[in-house]
């Protein structure tokens, strides 16, 4: 069996450290919003290169709270991509605002900033939520250009991209450091994940920080005195303690993910198969942290055939995402229809995520490629 993702292999290595950290939290007796959450907020914010981190219950809440702390109002329009996880767009709706979808770029699968600009020229827009999809950084300079030229807000969805980098005016910046705010998810499968749910908002803006901190505890600065109606959305001390242990290994794990992606690319190149896989670019920074390793096939039939074959061979895969968000039934009233975003629609039908996690072995990578090549060579 080669799973898509394996929590257990990593746990074997870290078991003692993690159990000790959990034990200490319980022994201390402070299990909600204590020293571990504060430590993680410091760890993550300085890693990303911003002043503040606010630990919350999950990445989805982080998006909702961040938008609200950024000052979104009922009816505001927010541009995002339909080729992302549901929470990116639902956070806009949960704020009584309106998602405006824009198709993705056919090479990077990230939001197409040219199409974003076309909308900004015509309509009043509150802001945009760029998603650094699968771990690949959106063009940060492009985002800053739009922010400055059109005075819009930017909330970076970094749920999949912790540690990914881009270049801004010659210097290397991490995803999450150039928007008004960024959000992270610590869902178990993420590059930095806990054994449950967790999330964080990161920002340089003191007002967003203060507001988000208040919103995560029912809108109160002083206990039992409520300035606004907020949420119960806290990151638990136990999860923060686990994440503080894992944080020490994040850079090593990211390097392993990148080296696995390089190995996949090398094998695919050798086999000369009819599929598209992430190109490994020679850059001096981590433009992609490979949260997912996603390949693209000629059509839907072959994608599904490969997926079934891999399943029979004991290899885990997943489809991110089978239904683009503009075609979700809950968003019907937004008025989009099939054909509106052809690239996203095509990717939903033709891409497949292959196993990637730091502990994946060379033999396993080779086996995955070998099994894919069996199907594709039959077709060629
Ligand atoms: C792009 C993206 N945004 C937001 C989220 C939401 O994070 P969570 O699952 O922690 O609520 C996820 C996680 O699945 C995600 O992949």
| Pocket probe mutation, ligand 1, options 66, 81, 86, 87, max atoms within 8 Å of Cβ | 87
Distance separating alpha carbons of residues 331 and 268, to the nearest angstrom: 38
List the beta bridge partners of residue 52. Answer: 203
The whole-number pLDDT of residue 85 equals 98
The whole-number pLDDT of residue 268 equals 96
| Pocket probe mutation, ligand 1, options 159, 239, 243, 353, max atoms within 8 Å of Cβ | 159
Q: How far is the CA of 159 from the centre of ligand 1 (A)?
A: 5
Q: How far is the CA of 90 from the centre of ligand 1 (A)?
A: 11
Distance separating alpha carbons of residues 149 and 143, to the nearest angstrom: 10
Name the residue with the closest Cα to ligand 1, atom 14. Answer: 85
Using the predicted structure, report yes or no on whether residue 380 has a pLDDT greater than 80: no
Using the predicted structure, report yes or no on whether residue 5 has a pLDDT greater than 80: yes
* Residue 81 CB less than 6 A away from ligand 1: no
Distance separating alpha carbons of residues 111 and 267, to the nearest angstrom: 29
Q: Tell me which residue of 214, 208, 215, 211 sits closest to 153, measured CA to CA.
A: 208
Half-sphere exposure of residue 41: CA atoms within 13 angstroms, side-chain side: 23
Ranges of beta strands (E only) in 297-380 are 351-354
Q: β-strand 127-128 against 77-80: which pairing, if any?
A: parallel
The whole-number pLDDT of residue 72 equals 98
Using the predicted structure, report yes or no on whether residue 330 has a pLDDT greater than 80: yes
Q: DSSP label at 331?
A: G
Distance separating alpha carbons of residues 5 and 148, to the nearest angstrom: 40
Give 63-72 pLDDT, tens digit per residue: 999 999 999 9
Distance separating alpha carbons of residues 254 and 123, to the nearest angstrom: 39
What domains lie within the chain, and their CATH numbers?
7-247 (3.40.640.10), 250-379 (3.90.1150.10)
Q: Tell me which residue of 239, 241, 234 sits closest to 214, measured CA to CA.
A: 234
Determine the Cα angle at 6 with ends 158 and 319, to 5°. 60
Mean pLDDT, the chain, as a whole number? 97
Distance separating alpha carbons of residues 123 and 335, to the nearest angstrom: 17
The whole-number pLDDT of residue 256 equals 98
Q: How far is the CA of 267 from the centre of ligand 1 (A)?
A: 31
Q: How far is the CA of 185 from the centre of ligand 1 (A)?
A: 6
Q: DSSP label at 276?
A: B
Distance separating alpha carbons of residues 293 and 275, to the nearest angstrom: 13
Q: Which residue has the tokens 């928007």?
A: 179
* Residue 87 CB less than 6 A away from ligand 1: yes
Please give the number of the atom of ligand 1 that sits closest to the Cα of 186. Answer: 10
Using the predicted structure, report yes or no on whether residue 294 has a pLDDT greater than 90: yes
Q: How far is the CA of 164 from the centre of ligand 1 (A)?
A: 16
| Pocket probe mutation, ligand 1, options 55, 58, 59, max atoms within 8 Å of Cβ | 59
State the average pLDDT over residues 92-96: 98
Give 108-145 pLDDT, tens digit per residue: 999 999 999 999 999 999 999 999 999 999 999 999 99
Two tokens at 173? Answer: 């910046």
Residues 208, 47, 295, 318: what is their CA dihedral angle, to the nearest 10 degrees?
-70
Kindly tell me the sign of the dihedral angle through the C-alpha atoms of 207, 208, 209, 214: positive
The whole-number pLDDT of residue 269 equals 94
Give 256-288 pLDDT, tens digit per residue: 999 999 999 999 999 999 999 998 999 999 999
Contact 180, 190 (CB under 8 A): no
State the average pLDDT over residues 199-225: 98
Residue 206 burial (10 A CB sphere; 0-12, 13-18, 19+):
exposed
* Residue 60 CB less than 6 A away from ligand 1: yes
Q: Which residue has the tokens 């300085």?
A: 46
């Amino acid at each position: 069996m080669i799973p898509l993702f394996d929590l257990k292999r990593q746990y074997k290595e870290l078991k003692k450290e993690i159990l000790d950290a959990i034990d200490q939290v319980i022994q201390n007796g402070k299990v909600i919003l204590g020293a571990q959450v504060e430590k993680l907020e410091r760890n993550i914010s300085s890693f990303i290169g911003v002043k503040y981190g606010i630990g919350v219950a999950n990445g989805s809440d982080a998006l909702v709270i961040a938008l609200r702390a950024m000052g979104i109002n009922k009816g505001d329009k927010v541009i995002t991509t339909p080729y992302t996880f549901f929470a990116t767009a639902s956070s806009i709706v949960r704020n009584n605002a309106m998602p405006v979808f824009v198709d993705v770029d056919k090479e990077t699968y990230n939001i197409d900033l040219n199409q974003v600009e076309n909308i900004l020229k015509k309509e009043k827009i509150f802001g945009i939520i760029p998603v650094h999809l699968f771990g690949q950084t959106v063009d940060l300079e492009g985002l800053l250009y739009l922010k400055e030229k059109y005075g819009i807000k930017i909330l970076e969805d970094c749920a999949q991209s912790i540690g990914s980098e881009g270049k801004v005016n010659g210097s290397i910046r991490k995803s999450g450091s150039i928007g008004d705010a960024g959000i992270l998810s610590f869902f178990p499968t993420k590059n930095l994940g806990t054994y449950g749910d967790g999330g964080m908002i990161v920002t340089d803006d003191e007002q967003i920080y203060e507001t988000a901190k208040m919103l995560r505890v029912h809108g109160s600065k002083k206990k039992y005195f409520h300035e606004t109606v907020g949420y119960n959305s806290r990151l638990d001390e136990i999860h923060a303690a686990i994440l503080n242990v894992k944080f020490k290994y994040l850079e090593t794990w990211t390097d392993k993910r990148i080296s696995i992606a390089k190995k996949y690319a090398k094998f695919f190149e050798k086999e000369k198969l009819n599929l598209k896989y992430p190109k490994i670019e020679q850059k001096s920074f981590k433009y992609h942290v490979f949260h997912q390793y996603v390949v693209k096939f000629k059509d839907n039939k072959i994608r599904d055939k490969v997926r079934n074959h891999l399943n029979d061979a004991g290899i885990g895969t997943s489809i991110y995402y089978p239904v683009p968000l503009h075609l979700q039934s809950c968003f019907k009233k937004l008025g989009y229809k099939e054909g509106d975003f052809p690239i996203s629609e095509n990717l939903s039908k033709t891409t497949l995520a292959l196993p990637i996690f730091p502990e994946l072995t060379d033999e396993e990578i080779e086996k995955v490629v070998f099994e894919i090549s069996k199907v594709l060579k039959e077709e060629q």
